[in-house]
Structures are given as C-alpha cells and as structure tokens.
Amino acid sequence: MTGDRRSAANRANASKSTGPRSKAGKAAARLNALAHGLAVPAGDDRGVDRETLRLAREIVEEAGRADLLGLAIRVAEADIELRRIRRAAAAAPPRRIDAFERYEGRALSRRSSAIRAFDAARTT
C-alpha cells in the first residue's frame, strides 16, 4: 500500500501538473497537435482524395485488373502518406528529424502490407 507521505506528495505534484492555466497558454497548447499533422492519415485529407484515386487507377491499369481498385486505393493511400511524411521531414529543422522516424516506419509497414495484399489478389 502507498504510504501517507507518498500519497501527499503525489497529490501535491498532481496539483502542479494541470496544464496551462492562462488563456494564452491554453491557446498555444491547442495548436500542439497541429505542429505537422502527420498523426492524421492521408486518407482523411479531402485534397488527397483526387490524387489517391488517380494513383490507384494507374496501379490498376498497369496490373490490367480493374476489379482490384479497392486494394489499389490502399496502396495509393499508403504511398501518398509516405511521401507526405518524407516532405515534412525534409522541411523540418535537423534536430527534429528523429521525430519523423515513427511516422515513416508506420507508413512503410502500411504500404508493404497493402502491396502484399494487392499482389496476392492479382496472382489469383
């Protein structure tokens, strides 16, 4: 069980860690999630829809299988997301490059998975 001293210390520390209190601090904290926008999948961006469909149609046309459009869209979305991450990383200050590795790794994995699914369906 937690001792009384430790409980009191935890309560005291928690009261200090409540986030920004001023209006300016709260306004600044609201923008933290918008620093680069990479946590939002590319498919959620309406401007990407046209590019995704164009790329998916190219993939389907090259494969000669119009019935695989849904899988081609997955490949296209993952590829566009990877490009977006790499553009953001290139534009970031050098000290922040490491922050993009997590996003790039996830996008690479997603793209590989989509390509494998597309290739498996194409060969059947």
| Domain range summary for the chain, segments of one domain joined by + | 1-34, 37-122
Measured in whole angstroms, the distance separating CA 45 from the mean position of its chain's CA atoms is 11
| Residue 75 amino acid letter | V
**Mean pLDDT in residue range 72-97:** 86
Which uninterrupted H or E stretch holds 122? helix 101-122
Task: With H, G, I as helix, E, B as strand and everything else as coil, classify residue 1.
Answer: coil
Whether the pLDDT of residue 100 is over 70: the answer is yes
DSSP notation for 4-70 = HHHHHHHHHHHHH-S---SHHHHHHHHTGGGTT-TTS-GGG-HHHHHHHHHHHHHHHHHHT-GGGHH
State the Cα angle at 46 between 40 and 49, rounded to 5°.
105
Give pLDDT, residue 20: 81
Measured in whole angstroms, the distance separating CA 9 from the mean position of its chain's CA atoms is 38
Helices 101-122 & 69-91 angle (0-180, nearest 10): 160
The pLDDT-based confidence of 120 (bands split at 50, 70, 90) is very high
Of the two residues 34 and 76, the one the predictor is more confident about is: 76
pLDDT, one tens digit per residue, over 19-52 is 788 888 887 777 665 566 676 666 556 666 889 9
From 23-37, 70-84, 93-107, 108-122, the region with the lowest mean pLDDT: 23-37
